[in-house]
Amino acid sequence: MPEKSPKNPLVYLIGAGPGDPGLVTVRGRECLGLADVVIYDYLANDDLLRFARPGAELIYAGKVGGHHNREQWQINELLVEKALAGNVVARLKGGDPFVFGRGGEECEALVAAAIPFEIVPGVTAGIGATAYAGIPLTHRGITTSVAFVTGHEGHDKEVSQIDWEGLSLGSGTVVFYMGIKNLPQITANLMAHGRPPETPVALVRWGTRPEQEVLTGTLADIAERACQTGFKAPAITIVGEVVRLREKLRWFDNRPLFGKSILVTRAADQAGEFGAMLGALGARVVECPTIAIVHPETWDDLDGAIAHLDRFHWIVFTSVNAVRFFFERLAASGRDSRSLSGCRVCAVGPKTSAALAPFGIRPDLIPVDYKGEGVVEVFRSEAITGKRILFPKGDRARDVIPQGLAELGAEVTAPVAYRNVMPEALPSGVITDLEERRIDCATFTSSSTVENLAAIVGENRLIRLLEGVTVAAIGPITAGTCRELGLDVHVEPPKYTLAAMTDALVDHFSRKA
Ligand code: SAH
């Protein structure tokens, strides 16, 4: 057998942006997906690691064996070593690699080892965190320049390399990185060199993340305030008149659910939509799937139907999962969408319809009402007496469709294409979040979400873990199940939809505030 030729070594230095995973560049995301090895930093949001390809080696650059921090030279060596082994390496760094990121040093090491590299710029904290704090760096009539300065230069440094006079005399905005510890020296230096003590200052910690914290004050008092409030790194310090604009332009950290951590217990593949709704209002969404979608116990029924697709006049899909598993088995049998050429297709709604698109299938029929009853209704005008209909379904699907279509005279075959089961464990961070009281609200969108959660963690423990946590249930049945399990229900929307649930949460937390 010919030996697998190793890939040519290549390193991408990728700016991860300041935290919000949406702020990575398109190119950065692309390169992450190309890498065999990803070496990432403390400040790079590790949510971005989901863009790495499955099986890629993920290395946290911060710690060696969980202990002391790796030194820069060790990181350089690691980069070179991994690349020379024939890997495509993605070096994921917080913000921008070339702004106080020591990216230049890493490149020097790569040049010395003759390893080719590409730099993918990122949104640096000075740009990202300021934008999310509602502070423009420059503003017509207020300031015409901006400087990014390290605040890390110790006050014990005898001759400062920072041009304090230059920074102090103009009206330019100054953004200090790594300056929280040295805040008293920084503010004192600026004032000593001529910046008025009443100059506004803002500190932005974990900017662009759901944890973002902003503290404002003046050159004269910010150090004291930071000390009093226990304000910690990582944060940037913004000095200049532009800081006043925050009052008017604040948009991110004043959204109605900002700062709230909300547990979403739906199945992972259904959580996205609800999570996005909550996230758009500022919540930190903690996914805690209590339902997992898995294969049926046997494929016999579905495979049997797939082997005789030419017998069917119609196929009905009522979920994205049904589409996924049906086409998975279709492919496993060596067939493809052409086997459906004699078959008309009904999709329950737009999402299921969109899931069919990648297979080149455009549904012939979509009901007005996106549910089982709607499917039966729309088939009334389709003359299906004596027709054979295939309905690949979930194990918990209601009988509405098989029964309704049979009543219309059709012959329905309904093999189980997937099952809803309880996962054995929760994602590792969730229990810690609950134990350390970092969750503000738990949402339950069906009885099985709360039943399964209770079964996974244990009923008594559930009550303990949710003490002081706002419990939201989508409707009366789910709320009843919560109460039976000993939980108080604090939020129950008037309509049983995710949108109404979201509104009810906003309402609840604004009243609480
Ligand atoms: N290369 C990074 C900076 C690394 S230096 C960039 O371009 O952003 C580390 C400093 O960056 C931190 O001490 C802090 O001052 C700043 N920083 C990084 N991410 C930040 C964030 N999300 N919010 C506020 N400051 C941040």
C-alpha closest to that of 103 among 86, 123, 120: 120
**Residue 64: its pLDDT value, please?**
65
Q: Please give the model's pTM, rounded to 2 decimal places.
A: 0.78
Phi, psi (degrees; rounded to nearest 5) at 492: -145, 105
CA of 240 to the centre of ligand 1 (A): 19
Ligand 1 and 363: CB distance under 6 A = no
**Residue 512: its pLDDT value, please?**
82
Ligand 1 and 235: CB distance under 6 A = yes
Which residues are 346's β-sheet partners? 316, 365
Q: Are 262 and 284 in contact (CB under 8 A)?
A: yes
Closest atom of ligand 1 relative to the 126 alpha carbon:
8
CA distance 132 to 134: 5
Q: Are 125 and 16 in contact (CB under 8 A)?
A: no
* Active-site residue, 41 included: yes
Instruction: Choose the catalytic residue: 36, 82, 93, 178.
Output: 178
Ligand 1 and 130: CB distance under 6 A = no
Instruction: Choose the catalytic residue: 7, 63, 495, 512.
Output: 63
CA distance 386 to 262: 50
**Residue 385: its pLDDT value, please?**
95
Domain topology for 294-420: Rossmann fold (3.40.50)
**Residue 157: its pLDDT value, please?**
57
**Residue 62: its pLDDT value, please?**
79
**Residue 507: its pLDDT value, please?**
97
CA of 129 to the centre of ligand 1 (A): 9
Q: Which helix (H) or strand (E) holds 388?
A: strand 388-390
Ligand 1 and 204: CB distance under 6 A = yes
Ligand 1 and 485: CB distance under 6 A = no
In terms of DSSP bridges, do strands 213-218 and 200-205 run parallel, antiparallel, or are they unpaired? antiparallel
CA of 204 to the centre of ligand 1 (A): 10
What parts of the chain have a pLDDT lower than 70?
1-6, 63-66, 154-158, 268-270
Ligand 1 and 317: CB distance under 6 A = no
Q: Which helix (H) or strand (E) holds 259?
A: none
**Residue 16: its pLDDT value, please?**
97
Phi-psi region of 426 (alpha: psi -120 to 50; beta: other; left: phi over 0): beta
**Residue 149: its pLDDT value, please?**
96
* CATH of the structural domain 261-291+423-512, one choice from 3.40.50.10090, 1.10.150.120, 3.20.20.210, 3.40.50.2300: 3.40.50.10090
Q: What is the CATH number of domain 10-123?
A: 3.40.1010.10
**Residue 154: its pLDDT value, please?**
53
Which residues are 60's β-sheet partners? 40
Identical topology for domains 261-291+423-512 and 294-420: yes
Beta strands in 206-258 (DSSP E): 213-218, 235-239
**Residue 446: its pLDDT value, please?**
87
Domain residue ranges in the chain: 10-123, 127-249, 261-291+423-512, 294-420
**Residue 206: its pLDDT value, please?**
96
> Which pLDDT tens digit goes with each residue over 257-274?
999 999 999 876 667 889
11 three-state secondary structure: strand
Domain topology for 127-249: 3.30.950
CA distance 218 to 187: 9
Closest atom of ligand 1 relative to the 97 alpha carbon:
1
